[in-house]
Each structure stands twice: as structure tokens, then as C-alpha cells.
């Protein structure tokens, strides 16, 4: 629950109840930082609670005018992205047979259409893709950055969401150096893989490497944690599924040989081994290869291969879907600037006691922005709260029962 500390209000500020004990300079700095954070979190609108409505009528102008020229330009870029990416776009989906992918080589002059099965297009909005990409960032507990703002700005200049199928803007594949291009295409690929998992009906997602690090010592997965592995572990009420994502912004056409090579390598090195390392084995293990293309190239496409898992014997340490669910929601808590709450959620009760973990209440500062009768909370410190056992008084308290 939130408990507000009433104090003097800074004139002209969109934030209420900011105590006067904060110096003017400190307040101004925090408002700028938190307004940026608000816009970052607006990209994460979902059930986690941070949401903002972007409108064409200029309803946000009163906020933007309070920022410097440079900050207004940044916020304007984000608004332009929002306006251009709320509609639906799509990407073609082709499924490969596992036997075809694992062949030593394809026949001469292979026909892509004969080697694959065309599935219904994957439909999504640019907003939902940005949401999925940032979600993938926070699933990895090693990543403590705030990636949303920079990624959204890159999005708006590189990818065209205005029509289906989704396209790269002209020259986008040459706009970045090789390292940046590889990094960005990989992040987009992870977002598309999450959206594909959702289409399969898989509700909960964990980053596989982070999940493996949470397994009990001595388990088979932990023994192989230094090896290459798939990106994600999905779960619903009945099954678990591995998904490895691959991505490219430079694959101009559906070249069967080139695509098969990527799928085969990922299947052999990152999926197949982990179908055995996790006990009992996952039901399936997918490789999803996304190729985003410019207008003059072939349409953008996903190539998918899904080898079926083998029925395994019940293990002494059975796989827990509950842990995947905990990691799924823990990612949202980290994105909301509540890493301590995320850690509480991630730790199973037995493990918490064994590790000497004490569930101390934590106080987190929030600033509250009101718009059209709705309140939006923005954590002033995206990297952590404050242990209230120290007696430090804060602006807003969030008491989490996790």
C-alpha cells in the first residue's frame, strides 16, 4: 500500500505532495529523472500497473513544456513512436521439419516453400513488441539497466510498423555498425520469440540461464550451467517449453541453406542438450529465427523448428513450473524499480531460510503523476529501495508482502 507524506507542493510540478525538506535543486533533478522514468515505464503498459495513454490531441504538452528543449525532443520522439506503432502489423511464419533441419546438406537448388509449411502470420503491434523486448531484458537478472528509452528511440528510426508486414526502414541495415546491428537484431528476435510463445498459449516466461542459476546445487542443469543454452523457458499449467531466438537484419531473402544453418546450429548446441539437462524434460524445444527486411527485399519472416521432447523418468528434483511463474513476475517487479520485492518473490520459502534470508520490510520512494483522474507511481530509484529498519523517512512507502 502507498502512504503519502503531505508537504508543500512545488508550483507548476505535475507531482503532488513533494515535501519541502527536499531542496529545490534536488527536487528539480528528481522530477526530471522521474519524468524520464515515467515515459520509460509507459512503454511497459500491462497488468504490472505502469501505463500511460498517448493521445493525438496534445494532452501531454503541459508536461513537455516544463522540460528543457533537449528533453522535449526526446519525449517528442517517444510520442511519435507511440503514435506510429499502436496499430497492428505482422510477420510471416514458416515451420521447418526437424528432420530437414538436421540433414547434413540440402539438395541442389532447394525450394524454400517445399521445405517449409506456411503457418498463419504472427500479428502484433509495435507497442506489444517493445513491451516484449523490454520484458526479455528484465527476465535476465544480470541486466540491471533501464533499456527502454534508448531502445524505443532506435525502434522509431529503424523499424516501420505502419503496415503489415513489419519492415525495416530503407537503409536501416546499414545505419549501424556490425556490433550494434547484431545486438539490436538479437533483442528484437527475443521480443518476437516471446510473442510467438504467447501465441502458443504459454503464459509464463523465465530466462533459462537465470532459472538454471536458481536450481538446487547438484542438479544436472547446474552441472552444465557454463554451456550454451536456449534463451527462454516457458510454462503453462501443463507443460514447459524451451525457446531459442535468433535474429537478422541482413538476410534479404528466404535462403534455405543459410536459414537451415542457423536453425541447425541453435538446435544442436542450445536446445537439444537442455531437453535432457532439465528433469523431467520440457515438452518441446523451439528455435525461432526472425529476419526483418527492407521493403525492396522479401517480406520479413520467422522460421521455426520445434523438435518434440522425449518422455523422461520422474526426477528426484522435479521441475517446478512455480519457479518459472515466480521469475515471470519477478521480471515485472524489477522493471518497476522494486528489485528487493523481486528477490523475495524469487526465493522459495525453504531456500530463503537455508540462506539466512530475513524478509525485512523495504521502503521505496515514489513520485506520483496524475493525469485525467488516474495516478501513476514512478520509483525514484530504479535500482533499489531503502531498508526502513534504518528509520529513514521517505516520500512514499510501498510495503510488499512478498
Q: Digits of tens for pLDDT over the chain (402 positions)?
A: 333 333 323 233 333 333 333 344 444 444 444 444 444 444 333 333 333 333 334 333 333 333 445 555 555 555 565 566 667 899 999 999 999 999 999 989 999 999 999 999 999 987 788 778 877 877 765 554 445 545 556 677 788 888 789 999 888 877 766 767 788 899 899 999 999 999 998 888 888 887 887 777 778 888 898 899 999 999 887 788 999 999 999 999 999 999 999 999 999 999 999 998 887 788 889 999 999 999 999 999 999 998 764 443 333 334 566 777 777 777 777 767 777 777 777 765 554 333 444 556 667 777 777 767 777 776 666 544 333 333 333 333 333 333
| Domain definitions of the chain by residue range | 2-84+366-376, 88-321
CA 264/CA 287 separation, integer angstroms: 9
Estimate the crossing angle of helix 339-346 against helix 321-335, to 10 degrees.
180
Question: What's the Rg (C-alpha) of the chain?
Answer: 23
Cell of 67: 522540460
Return the closest-CA partner of residue 141 out of 87, 207, 200, 73.
207
For 256, phi and psi rounded to 5 degrees? -55, -45
Cβ contacts of 255 within 8 Å, gap of 6 or more:
112
Pairing label, strands 204-207, 232-235: antiparallel
Q: How many CA within 13 A on the CB side of residue 170?
A: 2
CA 118/CA 126 separation, integer angstroms: 23
Whole-structure pTM value: 0.65
CA 339/CA 327 separation, integer angstroms: 12
Pairing label, strands 284-291, 240-248: parallel
> CA dihedral in degrees (140, 141, 146, 150; nearest 10)?
-20
CA 42/CA 44 separation, integer angstroms: 5
Cell of 62: 503541459
Cβ burial of 276 (10 Å; 0-12, 13-18, 19+) is middle
Q: How confident is the model at residue 54, as a pLDDT?
A: 34
CA distances from 98 to 8, 10, 253, 255, 284 (A): 66, 63, 21, 17, 12
Cell of 393: 523517512
Q: How confident is the model at residue 84, as a pLDDT?
A: 62
Q: How many CA within 13 A on the CB side of residue 344?
A: 14
Amino acid at each position: 500500500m502507498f502512504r503519502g507524506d503531505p508537504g508543500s507542493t512545488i508550483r507548476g510540478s505535475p507531482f503532488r505532495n513533494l515535501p519541502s525538506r527536499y531542496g529545490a535543486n534536488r527536487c528539480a533533478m528528481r522530477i526530471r529523472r522521474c519524468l524520464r522514468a515515467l515515459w520509460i515505464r509507459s512503454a511497459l503498459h500491462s497488468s504490472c500497473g505502469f501505463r500511460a495513454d498517448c493521445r493525438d490531441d496534445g494532452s501531454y504538452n503541459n508536461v513537455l513544456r516544463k522540460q528543457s528543449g533537449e528533453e522535449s525532443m526526446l519525449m517528442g520522439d517517444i510520442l511519435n513512436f507511440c503514435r506510429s506503432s499502436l496499430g497492428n502489423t505482422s510477420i510471416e511464419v514458416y515451420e521447418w521439419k526437424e528432420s530437414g533441419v538436421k540433414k547434413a546438406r540440402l539438395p541442389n537448388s532447394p525450394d524454400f516453400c517445399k521445405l517449409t509449411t506456411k503457418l498463419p502470420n504472427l500479428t502484433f503491434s509495435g507497442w506489444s513488441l517493445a513491451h516484449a523486448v523490454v520484458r526479455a531484458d528484465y527476465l535476465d537478472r544480470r541486466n540491471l539497466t533501464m533499456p527502454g528509452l534508448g531502445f524505443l528511440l532506435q525502434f522509431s528510426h529503424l523499424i516501420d510498423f505502419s503496415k503489415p508486414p513489419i519492415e525495416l526502414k530503407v537503409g536501416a541495415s546499414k545505419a549501424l555498425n556490425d556490433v550494434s546491428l547484431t545486438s539490436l537484431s538479437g533483442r528484437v528476435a527475443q521480443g518476437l520469440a516471446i510473442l510467438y510463445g504467447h501465441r502458443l498459449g504459454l503464459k509464463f516466461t523465465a530466462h533459462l540461464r537465470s532459472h538454471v542459476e536458481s536450481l538446487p546445487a547438484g542438479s544436472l542443469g547446474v552441472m552444465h550451467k557454463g554451456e550454451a543454452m536456449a534463451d527462454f523457458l516457458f510454462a503453462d499449467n501443463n507443460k514447459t517449453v524451451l525457446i531459442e531466438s535468433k535474429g537478422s537484419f541482413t538476410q534479404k531473402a528466404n535462403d534455405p541453406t543459410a536459414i537451415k544453418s542457423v536453425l541447425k546450429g541453435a538446435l544442436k548446441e542450445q536446445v537439444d542438450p537442455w531437453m535432457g539437462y532439465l528433469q523431467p524434460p520440457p515438452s518441446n524445444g523451439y528455435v525461432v529465427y526472425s529476419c526483418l527486411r527492407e521493403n525492396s527485399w522479401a517480406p520479413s519472416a520467422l522460421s521455426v523448428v520445434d523438435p518434440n521432447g522425449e518422455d523422461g523418468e520422474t526426477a528426484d528434483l522435479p521441475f517446478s513450473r512455480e519457479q518459472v511463474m515466480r521469475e515471470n513476475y519477478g521480471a515485472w517487479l524489477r522493471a518497476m524499480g522494486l528489485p528487493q520485492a523481486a528477490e523475495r518473490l524469487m526465493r522459495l520459502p525453504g531456500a530463503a531460510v537455508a540462506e539466512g534470508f530475513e524478509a525485512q520490510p523495504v521502503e521505496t520512494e515514489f513520485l506520483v503523476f496524475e493525469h485525467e483522474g488516474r495516478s501513476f507511481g514512478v520509483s525514484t530509484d530504479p535500482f533499489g529501495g531503502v531498508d526502513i529498519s534504518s528509520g529513514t523517512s521517505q516520500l512514499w512507502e510501498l510495503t510488499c508482502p512478498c
